[in-house]
Structure 1
Amino acid sequence: MVVSIRQWFGRLVFVLLFMLLTMIAFGGYRWLIDVVAPVDPYREPHGRALKVSGTLQTPDESTMSDRLRWFYWYGE
């Protein structure tokens, strides 16, 4: 069995280059996500925008048909 130093060196260079390029691509993707993604999507809105959250106030004695009627009427 003949062990070629040149072949092993080529394989080592390939693996090191592959790992380096993988880390560069991963870092680039993380950087791109940080640039594109909003900082805090749950912050208070600015300007005339309203932050709407909560439940619809319905009577306590609501039936399933009443709830469906509310759902289809208001789209909630």
Structure 2
Amino acid sequence: MVLSLRKWVSRIVFAIIFSMLLILATGGYSWLVDVISPVHPYHKPKGAAMKVFQADPMIPGNGSLADRLRWFYWYGE
């Protein structure tokens, strides 16, 4: 079995270049996501702003079985 040093060196160089480009692409993608993504929606509002939302919608307690299944599939509870 003959091992060619030139082939192995070219394979190693290819693997190194591929790894560097992969790291560059993933880092660039994460940087781009950070730049484009909107402001965090759950941060405290600044100034006179108020964050208002309904935490728990009214849960149907005595509804029919169909209503309870519909509620389960709609809200996952």
What is the count of residue pairs matched by the alignment?
A: 64
The aligned runs of 1:31-46 (5 Å cut-off) are 31-43=31-43, 44=45
Runs of at least 5 residues in structure 1 that lack an aligned partner in the other structure: 69-76
Relative contact order: is structure 1 or structure 2 higher (C-alpha 8 Å, sep ≥ 6)? 2
State the match for 2:17 in structure 1.
Answer: 17
Who wins on radius of gyration, i.e. which is larger? 1
Provide the aligned C-alpha RMSD in A: 3.1
The aligned runs of 1:43-54 (5 Å cut-off) are 43=43, 44=45, 51-54=52-55
Identity of aligned residues (%): 37
List, as ranges, runs of 4+ consecutive aligned residues in structure 1 with deviation greater than 4 Å: 45-50
Runs of at least 5 residues in structure 2 that lack an aligned partner in the other structure: 68-77
